[in-house]
């Protein structure tokens, strides 16, 4: 990649964040429903959707149980832990402050569901805050994690413009986890390991013309990685 040399030592440093990353796999019996059920509820009023989910015997998971860890790379052998944030809310002021402190061009955060690719919102944040490398780490099973880093060849605009196909692929996964935050309920994609690798293949194919993409496959039990 243009700005950083992704050698073994740097990749190992970034991959080490996977071991402590909060994950849906840390929760016993998370509330999972099928894609077919999600499709039925897309245009239903929220109260009706909640009643229907409850009628299935599914108890939504409180959003506060989901957390993301965020790091900034301060130099090629030092990661600064910015914090653990609950419910998917990350105050932008934290990122700005630590970017200035570290002069970092790389930020890494975890995803609590097995989705090791940046979301559209992640890319928008990278654009607004002005850093050049976006990394996401996520456990894809209880014994395995994946790390993805992307760096645009020029800027983030073409990456963002390419996301429609990626989002469509993500939303096609077979299972979702049910989340509730106050009176609002949401469904987060919960891809299987096979679906994760299919998504990663599509992600790289779509973005290759516009960005460099690095994947790291992390064996949590053996503490080993391949990239």
Angle at 63 between CA 95 and CA 42, to 5 degrees: 110
Identify the pLDDT of residue 104.
66
Identify the pLDDT of residue 100.
67
DSSP 16: G
**Distance (Å, rounded) from C-alpha 74 to C-alpha 188?**
32
DSSP 62: E
Identify the pLDDT of residue 42.
87
**Distance (Å, rounded) from C-alpha 153 to C-alpha 51?**
47
Give this prediction's pTM: 0.90
Could you tell me the residue ranges of all domains in the chain? 8-220
**Distance (Å, rounded) from C-alpha 16 to C-alpha 22?**
13
Sequence-ordered alpha helix ranges (H) in 42-119: 46-55, 92-102
Strand spans (E) along 58-154: 61-62, 67-75, 78-86, 106-110, 133-139, 144-152
Identify the pLDDT of residue 4.
64
Where residue 114 falls among pLDDT bands split at 50, 70, 90? very high
H or E segment at 120? helix 120-129
- 124-175, pLDDT tens digit by residue? 988 888 888 999 999 999 999 999 999 999 999 999 999 998 999 999 999 9
- 71-103, pLDDT tens digit by residue? 999 877 789 898 898 876 666 666 767 666 676
- 16-53, pLDDT tens digit by residue? 999 999 999 999 999 999 999 999 998 899 999 999 99
What burial class does residue 42 get, using C-beta atoms within 10 Å of its C-beta: 0-12 exposed, 13-18 middle, 19+ buried? exposed
Identify the pLDDT of residue 43.
86
Mean pLDDT of 53-58: 95
Identify the pLDDT of residue 6.
83
Which residues pair with residue 110 across a beta bridge?
A: 137
Say which residue, 125 or 202, is predicted with more confidence.
Answer: 202
């Amino acid at each position: 990649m243009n700005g950083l040399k992704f050698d073994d030592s740097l990749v190992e440093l970034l991959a080490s964040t996977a071991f402590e990353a909060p994950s849906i796999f840390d929760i016993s019996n998370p509330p999972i429903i099928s894609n077919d059920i999600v499709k039925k509820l897309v245009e239903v009023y929220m109260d009706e959707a909640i009643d229907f989910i409850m009628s299935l015997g599914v108890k939504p998971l409180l959003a506060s149980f989901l957390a993301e860890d965020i790091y900034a790379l301060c130099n090629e052998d030092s990661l600064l832990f910015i914090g653990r944030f609950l419910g998917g809310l990350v105050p932008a002021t934290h990122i700005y402050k630590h970017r200035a402190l570290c002069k970092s061009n790389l930020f890494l955060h975890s995803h609590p569901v097995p989705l090791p690719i940046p979301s559209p919102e992640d890319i928008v944040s990278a654009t607004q805050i002005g850093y050049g490398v976006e990394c996401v780490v996520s456990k894809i099973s209880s014994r395995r994690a994946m790390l993805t880093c992307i760096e645009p060849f020029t800027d983030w605009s073409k990456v963002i413009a390419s996301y429609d196909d990626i989002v469509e692929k993500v939303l096609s996964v077979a299972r979702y986890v049910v989340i509730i935050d106050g009176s609002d309920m949401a469904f987060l994609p919960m891809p299987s390991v096979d679906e994760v690798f299919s998504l990663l293949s599509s992600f790289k194919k779509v973005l290759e013309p516009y960005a460099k993409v690095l994947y790291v496959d992390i064996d949590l039990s053996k503490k080993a990685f391949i990239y």
